[in-house]
Amino acid sequence: MPVIYEPRGKAKEYSDLACNFYTGCSHACKYCYCPGIMRKTLEEWSANPHARTRILKQFENDAKKLQGCEKEILFSFMSDCFQSDEAGYLTSRALLISEMYNLKPQILTKAGYRATGCFDILKRNNWKFGSTIIFRKESLREYWEPGAPSIVSRYEAVKQAHAMGIYTWVSVEPVVDINEALAVMEDLKPFVNFWKVGKLNHFKELEEKIDWKLFLNETIKMLDGHDYYIKNDLKKYE
């Protein structure tokens, strides 16, 4: 069964193809949708993250079949591909396999500094580095993303990638505080090539308290002159 797959639904807005190397994620983000998909509690999902069985071998098998494919492959949707040193090593091997078969992976991570060890590979292949950043305040990160690296770490990784000439993008999703999300955009505009912005989902009580039309309008103003994509679930508030 292929491990490089074509995402469906909302995930399709992020990438034509994807690969998930891990089961579980130590970041334990309170807004994570993966436990629900996997029919686990957040505690179960984050307690014992582990690499999928023979994942690199399976990835290489798929890479051979897709050799030269122009579609980007996101690393990854269902966990963070740099959530630990082991995950970082596995991801670096997958990047080298991608290089061997002329594929186009792109990274999305909250790991910050841990991801910088792969920047040389990204740079020489003109691949993209993305980071999920929805807060400026570390106190909010500690509450919502208790196992994830600091905001400073993520900011600095984006800035370092930009300084190296790597194409950078930031995912501002899910937004749980519109002022924090806008602050991230303001802080990082000089260092980001592309933005993807989407609303909070699966938290009905909190979602209903947020003025999404206001946020959409403020986002468009904030990112005027920059490249960005508004996800469909937020765009409907136009």
Q: Identify whether 59 is part of a domain.
A: yes
Work out the percent of the chain whose per-residue pLDDT is above 70: 100
Q: Identify whether 194 is part of a domain.
A: no
Work out the percent of the chain whose per-residue pLDDT is above 90: 92
Number of domains in the chain: 1
Q: Identify whether 206 is part of a domain.
A: no
Q: Identify whether 205 is part of a domain.
A: no
- CATH number of the domain to which 158 belongs: 3.20.20.70
Query: For residue range 5-51, what is the model confidence (pLDDT) as tens digits?
Result: 999 877 788 899 999 999 999 999 999 989 988 999 999 999 999 99
- Determine the structural domain holding residue 125 and report its residue range: 4-171
Q: Identify whether 118 is part of a domain.
A: yes
Average of pLDDT values for 173-196?
98
Q: How far is CA 114 from CA 87, 89, 132, 170, 195, in A?
A: 10, 10, 14, 17, 22
Query: For residue range 207-232, what is the model confidence (pLDDT) as tens digits?
Result: 999 999 999 999 999 999 999 999 99
